[in-house]
Amino acid sequence: MNGDAGGLRPPVSRGRAAAVAMVVAAAVSPQIGAALAVTLFDELGPAGAAFLRLAFAAVILWAIWRPRLTGDLRLAGAFGVALGLMNWSFYEAIDRIPLGVAVTIEFAGPLLVAVVGSRRLLDGVWIALAAAGIVVLVNPGGGSMDPVGVGLAVAAGACWMAYIYLSKRVGIAYPGGSGLAIAMAVGALIVLPAGVLQGGGAFTRPDLLGAALVVALASSVLPYSLELVALRRLPESVFGVLMSLDPAVAALAGFVMLDQDLGAPELLGIALVVVASAGSAGLSHRRSGADALEVVEHEGAPAFHPIDD
């Protein structure tokens, strides 16, 4: 009996390792997509790039899930508004401040959702640690960060909070990823006017359309697909800890792809937020009432990852 049990362990371990690798890839892929999007801003503008990314993702998700326009369309529409504004404000932010800094500030949104309402002293410590990290990043009164960019990153974090709140309800109301497909189309329509104003003249260029398609695949379709499989094999707490690496991955992507050097204070601020997020997520299985970095899996469809970073 023991020999049989021991024989079962390697496949299980390999499956868990594969799931971890998928989550890591799902964390890296959106940051590569975001860095690539930055290179399109000169021709398309942040709104133009956001619109094309959302539009391509919507087309792909509609082809995969073939959603029906039934059910609570107001809920799906609200989800789409949050999704569209989150992507737009995030792209406007990374047009003004480094990618790693923007992702770190934005990450405060889901971290706040993770611990809101909790009475645990340790959760207060995580929030204080994250707040300290953001203060170090922004360095109010003496920093060189664009205040508009910082404000837009905060706005993206607020939209991310709404995204998390609505994603759970959309996941319950719609099968699979059909609710997300509808929301993605609504999000594209929300950004469409600004997208046309900023980059409409470049929408006919095949090279830019091809690059925007790659951004959509890297930022939305690929991470969504990887998480879809990984969440079936990993505990939510492990998933949350791994996704907490997003700010650090974003800083690395900004350095490698955009030549964005960060000083010691910025790196310290990012590290503080990563530790706070990982600590909150790692202890989520012990918390009653609210999961850290809320992850929802309904009929195989994860609804946590931001689809924007």
Per residue in 269-298, pLDDT tens? 999 999 988 888 766 545 444 443 443 333
pLDDT top residue among 131 and 84: 84
Helical ranges in the chain per DSSP H:
2-38, 41-65, 73-94, 99-106, 108-115, 121-138, 147-173, 178-199, 206-216, 222-230, 236-243, 246-258, 264-282
Task: Using alpha carbons, select from 122, 101, 124, 121 the residue that is nearest to residue 112.
Answer: 124
pTM attached to this predicted model: 0.85
Look up residue 266 and give its two tokens: 């910025």
Mean pLDDT of the region 62-78: 93
Return left, alpha or beta for 25; rule: phi > 0 is left, psi -120 to 50 is alpha, else beta.
Answer: alpha
- Per-residue tokens: 258: 């955009």
Is 189 in contact with 81 (CB distance < 8 Å)?
A: no
Amino acid at 123: D
Structure tokens at 211: 């690059």
As a whole number of angstroms, the distance between CA 95 and CA 42 comes to: 10
Three-state DSSP class for residue 297? strand
Per-residue pLDDT of 134-158, as tens digits, reads 989 887 666 678 999 999 999 999 9
